[in-house]
């Protein structure tokens, strides 16, 4: 269940958020359940970011419309660019580190080929969206919401199908992987993902990741498992250079849901 900050539209639609697989408390659970739960949280961050764009984008007038504000358009486009980089980073870690290690652990070549092929189904659309967002930041007068939305609509259903299906694939690893081995693969993938995160990501991706985590989701959670000072560092240092873009985030940097700041009724609050 989603904790919405009000009855107004929020980022639990149009793309529905994924339920989190529940880890049983009474027996010693296979680590596939924990891995699937972490993956579902992380996919929900991607979906909240996508929904934040779809919910607020129509309310940012282009240059031909009344109440146009050039900076608002640039901020929206930067947010879109950051979202595409977040999705890319997530899938790059899976393809280069996590999935090959899972196949090796299970001793089954091609075990993860389903999710890998699904990546191909939306990859070119994601690249097109990133290129559009980058190009239009230098040509704001040519930006059109309709055009941006058309690019998203062409690949988002395939992305959604993938984000949903991958949770089931990871739960099924219980059959083919030993629990300890899978946990080691998971920990290593997290370590590599953090190591691959360059300084630019702290300025351009982390503020979106933290601002799309909802710590109240389904009764509360501790995702992402990060040291307590990180949200402060993002808010007061790394997030400052593009603070206009982070206005599109649906949650604050501590994972607290907020009414969508760029909806007309919430502007200036
Ligand atoms: Fe994933």
DSSP-assigned letters across all residues of 184-220: HHHHHHHHHHHHH--HHHHHHTHHHHHHT--TTGGG-
Rounded Cα distance between 129 and 209, Å, is 18
pLDDT at 118: 84
SS3 13: coil
The residue behind tokens 């660019």 is 81
**pLDDT classification of 164: cutoffs 50, 70, 90:** very high
Q: How far is the CA of 144 from the centre of ligand 1 (A)?
A: 30
**pLDDT classification of 62: cutoffs 50, 70, 90:** very high
Q: How far is the CA of 167 from the centre of ligand 1 (A)?
A: 8
In degrees, rounded to 5, the angle at the alpha carbon of residue 21 between the alpha carbons of residues 28 and 116 is 110
Q: How far is the CA of 18 from the centre of ligand 1 (A)?
A: 12
Residue 203: pLDDT over 90? no
Question: What number of CA atoms fall less than 13 Å from residue 153's CA on the CB side?
Answer: 6
Q: How far is the CA of 173 from the centre of ligand 1 (A)?
A: 14
Rounded Cα distance between 86 and 205, Å, is 6
**pLDDT classification of 190: cutoffs 50, 70, 90:** confident
Q: How far is the CA of 39 from the centre of ligand 1 (A)?
A: 6
Cα torsion angle, 33, 215, 8, 125, sign: negative
Q: How far is the CA of 229 from the centre of ligand 1 (A)?
A: 26
pLDDT at 233: 85
Residue 67: pLDDT over 70? yes
Average pLDDT for 93-112: 92
Average pLDDT for 111-138: 93
CB 57, CB 75: distance < 8 Å:
no
């Amino acid at each position: 269940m989603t904790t919405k900050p009000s009855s107004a539209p929020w980022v639990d639609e149009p793309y529905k958020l994924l339920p989190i697989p529940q880890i049983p408390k009474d027996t010693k659970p296979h680590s596939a359940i924990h891995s699937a739960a972490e993956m579902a949280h992380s996919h929900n961050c991607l979906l909240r970011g996508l929904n934040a764009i779809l919910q607020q984008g129509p309310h940012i007038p282009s240059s031909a419309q009344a109440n146009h504000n050039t900076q608002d358009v640039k901020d929206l486009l930067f947010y879109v660019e950051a979202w595409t980089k977040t999705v890319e980073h997530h899938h790059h870690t899976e393809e280069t580190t996590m999935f090959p290690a899972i196949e090796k652990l299970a001793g089954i070549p091609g075990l993860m080929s389903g999710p890998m092929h699904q990546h191909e189904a939306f990859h070119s659309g994601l690249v097109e969206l990133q290129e559009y967002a980058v190009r239009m930041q230098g040509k704001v007068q040519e930006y059109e919401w309709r055009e941006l939305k058309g690019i998203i609509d062409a690949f988002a259903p395939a992305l959604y199908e993938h984000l949903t299906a991958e949770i089931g694939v990871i739960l099924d690893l219980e059959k083919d992987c030993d629990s300890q081995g899978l946990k080691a693969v998971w920990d290593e993938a997290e370590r590599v993902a953090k190591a691959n995160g360059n300084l630019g990501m702290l300025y351009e991706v982390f503020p979106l990741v933290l601002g799309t985590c909802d710590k109240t989701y389904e009764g509360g959670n501790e995702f992402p498992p990060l040291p307590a000072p990180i949200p402060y560092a993002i808010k007061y240092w790394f997030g400052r250079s593009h603070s206009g873009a982070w206005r599109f985030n649906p949650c604050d940097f501590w994972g607290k849901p907020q009414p969508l700041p760029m909806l007309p009724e919430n502007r200036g609050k």
